[in-house]
Amino acid sequence: MSDYLLEAKLRAENRDLHRLTKDSAVVLQKMLESFLPRFPDFTDHTIMHSMDVLEYCNLLLGEKQIERLTAAECYVLIMSCYLHDIGMGINQKNYEELSEKIDFGDYFETHSRKDTQTIIRVFHNEYSGFFICKYAELFDIPCEEMVFAIVQMSRGHRKTDLLDENAYHDLMTKDGIIRTAFLSAIIRLADEIDVGVDRNSELLFDSSKVQDIKGIEAFGTHESIRRVEVREDAIVLYVKPKAPEYLELVSNLVKKIQETLDYCRKVVSLRSDFRITQTSVKTIKIID
Amino acid sequence: MKIIKMQNAAAVTVALEGRLDSMTAPALETELKALTDGALEIVFDMEKLEYISSAGLRVLLSAHKVMAKTGGMKIIHSNETVMDIFEITGFSDILNIE
């Protein structure tokens, strides 16, 4: 069993850091719901998604590797699971303020959709990073190194180059080392699994109200994957296609998770002495 | 952080000074345990509160839950920094802030 191992390990090693995560969780329940008015569609970024990502981190790491983590690593990993999508729920004032700091590259020259909703969705990992920087005091994050780690791990759940040693280097704190690249790879893979196979959308949204094709396809793909199992050697998706055409969409999703798995395995092996034991993403078709 | 209590027949006013964070929130929690038993309204005067973190918000939320069943609770004189925290955390929708 890997349930709540990270939380249990942190509580056993450092009760003060554990209490900080509990205080943050109480506040974040409400905060993470604030994305819903701006994004009334079918992607879950509530505390339920945070809890799921945390659970996948527990499963991917496994008991023996969690035992090797420092208290600082347990703390920043739990906080990053809670905070990685906080950028999806920023208000207009913070959107305008934080947009000044983000490097959008050539996005505005190369993309036609430039509305606020799209910008936040595409760059939400960057908004998360700057939001955490701005409000680090709110979450009582104990030191600058931990703020930096949580920012980088939250940014790194999407897109960023985890092999960049300047952006993702090891940090020393009084509560132990933080191996930022390794932890970022774990959270990126955990997030990819949960976004792909999200079950919470069925609880949060009414699928009959989906209008656009992309939303219908995404929701149908979620509904076609009935269960996920993280085994020692593989990530297994149990598939019952909602309709035959969803098989191809599920297949595309499997490829996407496999790509992320391959990349994260590479990061973990090159940047730490930990490992991701899972090597492949498999599907098992459920037959009535 | 300083906690100053003033009581009259209808309410207890709790004036907070300084920072309400993980270091100071346990002291407020202890004080409130005694006050919430009295079933009077609690008024938090935040004029001199410089900052409130998630630890402080948790204590307020806990008091709010208890006082909702009895005398009620309200927050007055929040400065801009504290009000910003209430707004971005959504606590402005939960707590009675005047």
Phi/psi-derived region of residue A111, left when phi > 0, alpha when psi is between -120 and 50, beta in every other case: beta
- Tokens matching residue A172: 């020393």
Mutation test of the interface with chain A: which of B24, B54, B64, B95, choosing the one with the most A Cβ atoms within 10 A? B54
Q: How many domains does chain B have?
A: 1
Nearest C-alpha of chain A: how many angstroms from B41?
A: 24
Residue A5 has pLDDT above 70, yes or no: yes
Contact B41, B10 (CB under 8 A): yes
Across residues A99-108, what is the average pLDDT?
96
Under the banding of pLDDT at 50, 70 and 90, the label for residue A211 is low
Residue A208 has pLDDT above 80, yes or no: no
CB distance B53–A26 less than 8 Å? no
Nearest C-alpha of chain A: how many angstroms from B70?
A: 23
For helices A5-13 and A47-68, angle between their N-to-C axes, nearest 10 degrees: 60
Start-to-end CA span in chain A (Å)? 29
Q: From chain A, pick out residues whose CB is under 8 angstroms from the CB of B22.
A: 16, 19-20, 23, 140
CA–CA separation, A163 and A126 (whole Å)? 18
CB distance A31–B89 less than 8 Å? yes
Q: Is A138 in CB contact (< 8 Å) with chain B?
A: yes
Under the banding of pLDDT at 50, 70 and 90, the label for residue A202 is low
Q: What is the pLDDT of residue A41?
A: 64
Contact A24, A135 (CB under 8 A): no
Residue A152 has pLDDT above 90, yes or no: yes
Beta-carbon count within 10 A of B47 CB = 12
CA–CA separation, B89 and B92 (whole Å)? 8
Q: What angle do CA A229, A156, A145 make, to 5 degrees?
A: 115
Contacts with B16 (C-beta within 8 Å, 6 or more apart), sequence order: B1, B2, B3, B4, B28, B44, B45, B46, B48, B49
Q: Shortest CA distance to A211 belongs to which of A58, A76, A49, A42?
A: A42
Q: From chain A, pick out residues whose CB is under 8 angstroms from the CB of B85.
A: 138
CATH code for position B9: 3.30.750.24
Contacts with A88 (C-beta within 8 Å, 6 or more apart), sequence order: A35, A38, A39, A45, A120, A121, A124, A127, A128
**Mind listing the pLDDT tens digit of every residue in chain B (98 residues)?**
999 999 887 789 999 999 999 999 999 999 998 887 776 899 999 999 999 999 999 999 999 999 988 889 999 999 999 999 999 999 999 999 99
Q: From chain B, pick out residues whose CB is under 8 angstroms from the CB of A34.
A: 90
Contact A23, B54 (CB under 8 A): yes
CA–CA separation, B39 and B20 (whole Å)? 24
CB distance A27–B91 less than 8 Å? yes
CA–CA separation, A148 and A286 (whole Å)? 44
How does strand B11-20 pair with strand B41-52?
A: parallel
Lowest mean pLDDT among A141-145, A283-287, B94-98: A283-287
CB distance B22–A20 less than 8 Å? yes
State the burial class of residue A98 (Cβ atoms within 10 Å of its Cβ: 0-12, 13-18, 19+).
Answer: buried
Q: What is the pLDDT of residue B9?
A: 78
Nearest C-alpha of chain A: how many angstroms from B13?
A: 24
User: pTM of the entire structure?
Assistant: 0.90
Range 167-226 of A in CB contact (< 8 A) with B = none
Specify the residue for token string 């020692």: A232
Owning domain of residue B32: 2-94
CB distance A33–B90 less than 8 Å? yes
**CA-to-CA dists, residue B7 to A63, A233, B34, B54, B96, angstroms:** 53, 64, 13, 27, 19
Helix (H/G/I), strand (E/B), else coil: B84? helix
Choose between A29 and A207: higher pLDDT: A29
Range 51-110 of A in CB contact (< 8 A) with B = 91, 94
